[in-house]
Amino acid sequence: MKGDPLATAEKTKRRRQEDRLNSTAVKSYRANLSALRNDFKAWLRTNAPGANVTGEFDISLNAVSVSLGGEQLATIAAAPMVQRAELEGLYYPTATTTATDPDLDIIGAGRDPNAGAGIKVAIIDTGIDVTHPCFSDAGYAAQTQLGDRRFTNNKVIAAKVFNNKTPPAASPRKPSRATALTSPAPSPATSTRRPAWTVVAIDHPISGVAPKALLGNYNVFPGDDANARSEDILNAMEAAYVDGFDVGNMSLGGGSHGFQDLLTIAVDTSQANMVFAVAAGNFRSGALHG
């Protein structure tokens, strides 16, 4: 949509952590963006009645997601409020590496047992199994827990699902590659392995770069879903921002949709006190994001 999002608009970018969305300037500008989206929805009802808005975004992107319902993308792009329109991409979990990785020493894994204290890292992936010993909250102070509290504790402080193909009751828990991805990083413990995702003994201690970081489980591949749409990922990103997370991590990829597709632009928007780390490719050629 025309108009800068909160992260890049002059009046709202680089807000302090404590007033991300609560300042008068942010609330006022956000209301203006909401009014613009309402104008667009009214335009749709007249000019493309088969289409409907399925999601709205204003933090890293000023955008909406639309189900075309038989309408043409070119029709949507012609709306006077629209700056750019493109088809959504599909993204897939990145292949997991083994835990014994010589690069861990290079990046400083295990050197400081208190590293990451107070930092909140949102894992936008396949889900975290909070029952895994790597995610024990023993010794952690009480935290505000968000989302489905059956799958949170004082270490994994958020558990939410984002996938528009999946019923709302889908569980954020999925004992899978996201557990393997995060377990060597945050807590000293044993680790999961492919293909059975069982706990196995290892011959050296595991402690990541930030073992005291708090985690958020933002599952965009719930249940048997093998892919996530751009809007699922963007919904998870914006939710993590609203929930107060400092860092977002995504180990996922898909076919390239252009060097600067809309999701890439959203990920690159780091002026709003949140930084995203994205895996450098996937396990096959044509993978997105470096």
* Domains of the chain, residue spans: 17-85, 92-278
| Residue 267 CA neighbour count, 13 Å, CB half | 23
Residue 203, pLDDT above cutoff 50: yes
Least confident range from 46-50, 183-187, 250-254: namely 183-187
Residues in the chain: 290
Task: Provide, rounded to the nearest whole percent, the portion of the chain with pLDDT above 90.
Answer: 36
Q: Which of 36-40, 162-166, 276-280 has the highest mean pLDDT?
A: 36-40
Cβ–Cβ under 8 Å, residues 240 and 276? no
**Residues 25-47 pLDDT 10s:** 889 999 999 999 999 999 999 99
| Residue 194 CA neighbour count, 13 Å, CB half | 8
pTM above 0.75, yes or no: no
pLDDT of the residue at 179: 44
pLDDT of the residue at 76: 96
pLDDT of the residue at 285: 45
**Exposed/middle/buried for residue 265 (C-beta within 10 Å: 0-12, 13-18, 19+):** middle
Model confidence at 188, pLDDT cuts 50, 70, 90, reads very low
pLDDT of the residue at 197: 44
The label of the residue with tokens 């009214």 reads: 42
pLDDT of the residue at 290: 36
pLDDT top residue among 25 and 122 = 122
pLDDT top residue among 193 and 270 = 270
Model confidence at 207, pLDDT cuts 50, 70, 90, reads low
Cβ–Cβ under 8 Å, residues 157 and 216? yes
Can you spell out the DSSP letters for the chain?
--S--TTTSTTTTT--GGGTTTSHHHHHHHHHHHHHHHHHHHHHHHH-TT-EEEEEE-SS--EEEEE-TT--HHHHHTSTT-S---PPPEEEEPPPPPS--THHHHTTTTS-TTTTTT-EEEEEES---TTSGGG--TTPPP---EE-GGG--SSEEEEEE--TTS-TT--S---SHHHHHHTTTTSSS-EE-TTT--EE--SS----S-TT-EEEEEESS-TT---EEHHHHHHHHHHHHHTT-SEEEE-EE-S---TT-HHHHHHH---SS-EEEE-S--SSTT----
Architecture of domain 92-278: 3-Layer(aba) Sandwich (3.40)
CA–CA gap between residue 170 and residue 165 (Å, rounded): 10
Task: Provide, rounded to the nearest whole percent, the portion of the chain with pLDDT above 70.
Answer: 69
pLDDT of the residue at 253: 66
Average pLDDT of the segment spanning 215-221: 92
Mean pLDDT estimate for the chain: 77
pLDDT of the residue at 34: 96
Dmax (CA) of the chain: 66
CA–CA gap between residue 111 and residue 122 (Å, rounded): 22
**Residues 243-268 pLDDT 10s:** 999 999 887 766 555 556 777 788 77
pLDDT of the residue at 235: 92
Q: For residue 62, what are the CA distances in angstroms to 108, 272, 286?
A: 37, 14, 28
Residue 287, pLDDT above cutoff 50: no
